[in-house]
Chains A and B, each alone.
Chain A
Amino acid sequence: MKLKYPKNGKFGEFGGRYIPETLVPAVEELEQAYLKYKDDADFKKELHYYLTQYAGRPTPLYFAENLTKIAGGAKIYLKREDLLHGGAHKINNTLGQGLLAKRMKKKRIIAETGAGQHGVATAMACSALGLDGEVYMGYKDTQRQKLNVFRMNLLGSKVHPVKEGTQTLKDAINEAIRDWITNVKTTYYLLGSAVGPHPYPVMVRDFQSVIGNEILTQMKKLEKKSPDSVIACVGGGSNAIGTFYPLIDENTKMFGIEAGGEGVKSGHHSATLVGGSKGILHGMLTYLLQDKEGQISETHSISAGLDYPGVGPEHSYLKDAKRVKYDAVNDKEAVEAFLLLSKHEGIIPALESSHAIAYAVKMAKNMPKSESIVVTLSGRGDKDVEEVGRYLNKNVKNKK
């Protein structure tokens, strides 16, 4: 079951490299560099240094006692990626790729961002490692995540608002790819999720696997066994694949939670694996939200970080192999979980992670107290307080 390395850049039929010819030499160069450095002692040592001393690893595995009591079933543990520097798991990947870019002698870094968390993590890595960062962000996202735009600017990176298409994450990726095509010799594209052409899905997964590896070690200490279930939210799917991959051979049930928006049946959602079909976008073959002719659909989610019509190809593979169950949680349930965790555990979760929390509470109820669930709390929710405020206002008004 465990896939050490995809064959020809593929997970079963998924993945691949559907890219313009100009980028072929660039992804080949990247793959070679990655293969060269990923097991290199100096590289690993330097990455370990930054992950521990700069980003704050390892992150705690916190027993959410109050939440567990409310749910009234299985024990709920939170993998506290929200405590990392920058407030999200994204820094695991940006430090890894930043160090790789340096070894490849590429000083100019470009990135895309949805909610802004990857943009912020990229800006931090660039600042710490002495690289020049430029971040593409959908115009709509710059409006709903103003705080992160301000943070990126403070951290010394330039933000390019993207006004094409739906003005969200997918358009930011399109624009970053166009930049990469134009400046391919000098520029490193620091992709933020386990998506895109090979080797990105593998490389990002590997950098994020520190999450699952720590969970395994910590659970064996706390519960003397691997977790019975793990839950993570899935947009592109980087925190989820980082959680799942090291546990794939364990006796652990896995759940990937997508953004159900206003409900999967409403058509206003971002639940690619739950409600999508196979297609090709951003260099990969994977599940997509698209119409019957192959035009990519407009997606919806209250959380900008999950608002993406594609998903990492390894998730598509794990879905079809039935190793992971993918399900959707809608906006309303996510906001309720956001409020619940804030009030009862004193932890304000990112709206993305709130989807996973909502699912965990539902699931824990129907599980025995002797079992345990680990939820990857991928990020903190300071960035989301305004959005949640707007949502609550709107819905209170609607009720009146």
Chain B
Amino acid sequence: MSRIKNKFQDLRSKNQKALIAYVMAGFPSEKGTISAVRGLTKGGADIIELGMPFSDPLADGPVIQNAGFQALQKGMNFEKFLAIVKKIRKETDIPLVLMTYTNLLYRHGYEKFISIVKSVGIDGLILPDMPIDESGDFLKAARKYKMDTIFLISPNTSSERIKKIASTSSGFLYLVSVFGTTGGQQQFQNYTTHAIKNAKKILVGKIPLGVGFGVSNPDQAKFIIKSGADAIIVGSAFLRLMENTTVEKIEGKIEHFTKSLKKATISE
């Protein structure tokens, strides 16, 4: 069984929901990423998404754009990404999901890319610019290497299409909570609650539902979980926390914030 599936099963038995945390590999530095991951695991994050920067991240808001841009400026590349994953894997068995854009996989060749990242310990892939309609070759390679494929759905995805996407996904299904790019929202609107409830109804427990884009504090996390999500996904809020922090302080700061978010996933 995959690490991701295991994790969700384990959480179910404890009556908890999952906290999925996103950090950008190489931001603010390679060391900073390792420190952040330590803070995340100590603070109780359940799954970690590692972003691999792409020059043209069209689904991302300003915070992740900036983090990716800085990481690339500092020389982040595939080899360094693999080195970071290897270091993380020496310290923890936490499920690791790679989030990046399709071109980086396409350029290497889907199969080659997936086999390499799998071998260093990546458990799943999220590609925001890969809809199921284009996923043939990608899926074939992912299945061959038992890589989880986490596809996204949106509040405007039809019920029929949600079914199709869910059956193509493994690990969990990623619901984009809002119309927009990644990053903080002031307040969620009714349509988000509706989208979560509708997706849950369609999924009938076949695959966990993670909800992300704009979840940035414990109150929002609680709200999303109350609406029925199996996992909250938080990204930009972690990166913002790291923006003006020295490497030495990252671990502690992240741990503290992670704990506050994790609390929201444990039913009282």
Among A22, A178, A278, A293, the residue within 8 A (CB) of B176 is A22
Are A181 and B56 neighbours in the complex by a CB distance under 8 Å? Answer: no
Are A184 and B156 neighbours in the complex by a CB distance under 8 Å? Answer: yes
B2 close to chain A: CB less than 8 A: no
Among A21, A164, A293, the residue within 8 A (CB) of B104 is A293
Chain B residues within an 8 Å CB radius of A20? 58-59, 128-129, 131, 152, 154, 176
Over the window 83-121 of chain B, the binary record of Cβ atoms lying under 8 Å from chain A Cβ atoms (1 yes, 0 no) is: 000000000000000000111111110000000000000
Are B128 and A295 neighbours in the complex by a CB distance under 8 Å? Answer: no
Among A18, A278, A294, the residue within 8 A (CB) of B129 is A18
Number of interface residues of B (CB under 8 A): 40
Q: Could you tell me the distance between the alpha carbons of A185 and B178 in the complex, rounded to whole angstroms?
A: 12
Are A16 and B77 neighbours in the complex by a CB distance under 8 Å? Answer: no
Are B56 and A185 neighbours in the complex by a CB distance under 8 Å? Answer: no
Over the window 226-239 of chain B, the binary record of Cβ atoms lying under 8 Å from chain A Cβ atoms (1 yes, 0 no) is: 00000000000000
Over the window 142-183 of chain B, the binary record of Cβ atoms lying under 8 Å from chain A Cβ atoms (1 yes, 0 no) is: 000000000111111110010001000000000010011100
Q: How far is the CB of A278 from chain B (nearest CB, A)?
A: 8
Are A182 and B156 neighbours in the complex by a CB distance under 8 Å? Answer: no
Over the window 269-313 of chain A, the binary record of Cβ atoms lying under 8 Å from chain B Cβ atoms (1 yes, 0 no) is: 000000001111111010010101111100000000000000000
Q: Determine the residue in chain A with the shortest Cβ distance to B59.
A: A20
- A177-214 CB contacts (< 8 Å) to partner B: 177-178, 181-185
A64 close to chain B: CB less than 8 A: no
Over the window 142-176 of chain A, the binary record of Cβ atoms lying under 8 Å from chain B Cβ atoms (1 yes, 0 no) is: 00000000000000000000001100001100100
Q: Could you tell me the distance between the alpha carbons of A185 and B154 in the complex, rounded to whole angstroms?
A: 13
Q: Could you tell me the distance between the alpha carbons of A297 and B103 in the complex, rounded to whole angstroms?
A: 13
State the majority secondary structure of interface residues on B. Answer: loop
Chain B residues within an 8 Å CB radius of A280? 101-103, 106, 129
Q: Could you tell me the distance between the alpha carbons of A275 and B179 in the complex, rounded to whole angstroms?
A: 37
Chain B residues within an 8 Å CB radius of A183? 179
Are A290 and B181 neighbours in the complex by a CB distance under 8 Å? Answer: no
Q: Could you tell me the distance between the alpha carbons of A24 and B156 in the complex, rounded to whole angstroms?
A: 9
Question: Contacts A18-B130, A24-B157, A183-B179 given: A294-B59 contact, CB under 8 Å?
Answer: no
Among A21, A174, A184, A282, the residue within 8 A (CB) of B131 is A21
Q: Could you tell me the distance between the alpha carbons of A185 and B131 in the complex, rounded to whole angstroms?
A: 19
A25 close to chain B: CB less than 8 A: yes
B268 close to chain A: CB less than 8 A: no
Are B134 and A18 neighbours in the complex by a CB distance under 8 Å? Answer: yes
Q: How far is the CB of A51 from chain B (nearest CB, A)?
A: 32
Among B104, B130, B181, the residue within 8 A (CB) of A182 is B181
Are A296 and B56 neighbours in the complex by a CB distance under 8 Å? Answer: yes
Question: Contacts A21-B154, A283-B129 given: A181-B59 contact, CB under 8 Å?
Answer: yes
Chain B residues within an 8 Å CB radius of A25? 156-158
Q: Could you tell me the distance between the alpha carbons of A278 and B109 in the complex, rounded to whole angstroms?
A: 11
Chain A residues within an 8 Å CB radius of B153? 21
Are A165 and B179 neighbours in the complex by a CB distance under 8 Å? Answer: no
13 chain-A/chain-B pairs, Cβ below 8 angstroms: A17-B131, A20-B128, A24-B133, A24-B154, A24-B161, A165-B55, A185-B156, A185-B179, A293-B77, A294-B106, A294-B108, A295-B104, A296-B103
Interface residues of A (CB under 8 A from B): 16-22, 24-25, 164-165, 170-171, 174, 177-178, 181-185, 277-283, 285, 288, 290, 292-296
